[in-house]
Structure 1
Amino acid sequence: MFDKLEDLLRKYDELMNELSQPEVINDTKRYTALMKEENDLRPIVAAYKEYKDCKTNIEDSLAMLDEESDDELRELAKMELNDSKSRVEELEKELKVLLLPKDPNDDKNVMVEIRAGAGGDEAALFAAEVYRMYVHYAESRRWKTEMMSLNENGIGGFKECVFMISGQGAYSRLKYESGVHRVQRVPETESGGRIHTSTITVAIMPEAEEVDVEIDMNDIKFDVFRASGNGGQSVNTTDSAVRLTHMPSGIVISSQDEKSQLKNKDKAMKILRARLYELEIQKKQSEEAKERRSQVGTGDRSEKIRTYNFPQGRVTDHRIKLTLHKLESILNGDLDEIIDSLIAADQAAKLANMNQD
């Protein structure tokens, strides 16, 4: 581990030297790429430098205890020694986590797809609530959201919606949200007061650039139609809505939120790229079965990951057996405690897996 850290320290110094060269500063593309690399290395280098300083402090404190006879100075040396030893243990753990292989998609924006599952209108209403939960969470982190595709049920529920969340590290935090979300509550439409269980599925897909996924435009069939709202009333009088069919995968995407056919086509292509990229990621994870087992569910749509129980005001994440009695604040976007716990559990599983190797 320490050989690798020394290599990274040398690499960081070379990088900083390169970033100060006028020819690099004047080359925007090169400078941006190097700054991203520097940004990735900085936390590891800072932790390792602090680790080395603490090790030096331990040696100095031990030397002082050997040489010094003054009681007051010896007491100060003991305190310094204990503090440095404690910090060294913490930093060793931090450095192991920082050295874990980074998910190449972590810095990407995300496409979030929410679909109503079992439970009819109640599932669709819950899908709309979960959409708002993620929008509130995005706002709390100053990320931007944009609706890409929406299919409503007429009473305020969402049969299906796809929206984009743009912001630094969006995928790194939201990737654990993929799976089946279950709600238990008495629906407003239920006169007998019985608790119903409904489900929705959430898929978190990293935004894919054109370089990430190759798409042959000959494989795509485009249909245009007139956009309509609930009840079939005309929303506009031109054929601006777009239906895209990707022949090899069978993926069908409709987009009608924009008044421009070109903008709807562009949104449909973004969704297609994200879905095809997600399929590639799923395939890779399936092939790497050992790594997949060490992860905390980051993609399987069929996995039941969380229950929102209204009568008891609780939310339970089944993967890490975490139960929080603050349903209302979670639905208002207070997701950090759950996400931080999932990240910690994922890192612990990966570290355990690394130690076995």
Structure 2
Amino acid sequence: MFDKLEDLLIRFEEIMSELNEPGVAGNQERFRRLMKEQSDLTPIVDAYKEYKKSKQDVEDSLSMLEEESDEDMREMLKEELASSKKRIEELEQELKVLLLPKDPNDDKNVIVEIRAGAGGDEAALFAAEVYRLYVHYAEGQRWKVETLNVDEIGIGGMKEVSFMISGQGAYSRLKYESGVHRVQRVPETESGGRIHTSTISVAVMPEVDEDIDIVIDDKDIRIDVMRASGNGGQCVNTTDSAVRLTHYPTGIVVYSQTEKSQLQNKAKAFALLKAKLYDIEQQQRHDAEAELRRSQIGTGDRSEKIRTYNFPQGRVTDHRIGLTLYKLDKVMNGDIQEIIDACIAADQAAKLVKMGEN
């Protein structure tokens, strides 16, 4: 590990030197690449420098202890020694985590798709609530939310909604939300007061940008334009602005009608289709890598039940990590950072164990 850290320290110094070269800013692609690499290495280099300083502090304290006879000074040196040793242990663990292989999609924007499952109107109502949950969370992170498509029902529910969240590290945090979310509560329409169980599915897909090559052949796609439909609005039933794409090889159908412009809806539909095709590719690769699957929290299967929201008891349980929180109101208002942090920590711990076995 320390050989690798020394190599990274040398590389970091090389990058800093290159960034100081005259004319480097003139080559935008090179400048962007160097800045990205510098940004990725900075937390590792900072932690490693602090680790080396703490190691030196230990040596200095031990050396001074050998020569010091004053008892008060010796006690102070022992405290400093203990503090430095404790910090070394913390930094060793931190460096192990920082050196874990990084998911290449972590810095990407995400496309989220929520679908109502079992439970009829109650599932559609919960889908709309979870959509608002993610919008509130994104707003708290100062991320941008853009709706791609929504299929609403008259009572305020959503059979399906697709939206993009744009922001630094969006995928790194929201990727743990993929799976089946279950709600247990008494529906407003239930006169007998019985608790019903409904489900929705959440798919979180990285946005496909220029560095990912997803080729869509013209002969594999059908583009239909039509008038938007829904609960009303300026562009509904007035112009042929809605766009539906059908991808023949996979049978995927995507629809976009949120914009007044047909061109904008077409661009959104293609962005969603590309994300779905890339997601299929990722899932196939993931399924083939059994070892990787076992080193991650949960199974990574989209049909896996990951979380239960129990309204009568005011609790949320994440089944993958055994975490239960009694703050359902806050969670439904977008306060999911504690759950995400716990998922990240569990994922890192599992990967560290796996790394130690190899």
Alignment of 1:314-329 (within 5 A): 314-329=315-330
Q: TM-score, normalised by structure 1?
A: 0.98
Root mean square deviation, CA, Å = 1.5
Contact 1:294–1:350, Cα closer than 8 Å, also in 2: yes
Displacement of 1:211: 4.0
Distance 1:307 1:210 in 2: 37
**Superposition map of 1:118-157 within 5 A:** 118-157=118-157
SS of the residue aligned with 2:89?
Answer: helix
Displacement of 1:210 after TM fit? 4.3
Aligned to 2:63: 63
For 2:148, give the aligned amino acid.
M
Q: Distance in 2 between matches of 1:215 and 1:66?
A: 72
Aligned partners of 1:148 and 1:280: how far apart in 2?
Answer: 22
User: Does the CA-based 8 Å contact 2:235-2:241 persist in structure 1?
Assistant: no
Rate the CA distance shift 1:233–1:101 in 2: closer, same or farther, 3 A: closer
CA distance in 2, matches of 1:233, 1:44: 52
The whole-number CA distance in structure 1 between the counterparts of 2:104 and 2:234 is: 45
1:293 equivalent in structure 2: 294
Match of 2:28 in 1: 28
Aligned residues: 357
Q: How does 1:1-357 map to 2 (within 5 A)?
A: 1-212=1-212, 213-230=214-231, 235-297=236-298, 299-357=300-358
Aligned AA (1:57) = D
**TM-score, normalised with respect to structure 2:** 0.97
Cα distance between partner residues in 2 of 1:27 and 1:125? 51
Deviation, 1:239, is 1.1
The 2-side partners of 1:28 and 1:317 are apart by 44
Q: Against the structure 1 CA distance between its residues 23 and 185, is the aligned structure 2 distance closer, same or farther, given a 3 Å change threshold?
A: same
3-state SS of 1:311 partner: coil
CA distance in 2 between counterparts of 1:60 and 1:211 reads: 49
Cα deviation for residue 299 of structure 1 reads: 4.2
Percent identity (aligned): 71
CA distance in 1, matches of 2:180, 2:209: 27
**Following TM superposition, by how much is the alpha carbon of 1:99 offset from its aligned partner in structure 2, in angstroms?**
0.3
1:89 Cα deviation from its structure 2 partner: 0.4
Paired amino acid for 2:60: D
Give the SS at the match of 2:106: coil
Unmatched runs of 5 consecutive residues or more in structure 2 = none
Kindly state the Cα deviation for residue 52 of structure 1 after the two structures are TM-superposed: 0.3
Displacement after TM superposition at 1:237 (Å): 1.8
Shift of 1:297: 3.4
Does structure 2 retain, via aligned residues, the 8 Å contact 1:306–1:317? Answer: yes
